[in-house]
Amino acid sequence: MNILIEYRWAFLIGAEIVFWSAVISFFLLRYAFQLHKASFIVGIVLLLNELFILTLGVVDYYETGKFSQFQIIIVIILLYAVFYGKKDLRKLDLRIQRMIAKWRGEALPMTQEEVELTGWAYTKQELLHWGIHFIVFAGVHIVFFFLYGLVPLENISSWDADIFLNETVNRVSKVWRIVFGVDTLITLSYVIFPKKKKEVLSR
Threshold 0.75, pTM exceeds: no
Q: What is the domain count for the chain? A: 2
Classify residue 201: in a domain, yes or no.
Answer: no
- What are 105-159's pLDDT values in tens digits? 766 665 544 445 667 777 888 888 888 888 888 888 888 888 788 888 877 777 7
- Under a CB-based contact definition with an 8 Å cutoff, are residues 130 and 183 in contact? yes
Summarised one tens digit per residue, pLDDT across range 54-108 is: 888 878 877 777 777 787 788 778 777 776 677 777 777 777 777 777 777 766 6
DSSP tag of 150 = B
Query: Does 163 score more than 80 pLDDT?
Result: yes
59 closest CA partner among 19, 18, 7: 7
AA identity, residue 172: V
Same domain? 139 vs 191: yes
Q: Identify residue 199 by its one-letter amino acid code.
A: E
Domain span at residue 132 reads 116-196
pLDDT category of residue 201 using cuts at 50, 70 and 90: very low
Same domain, 68 and 3: yes
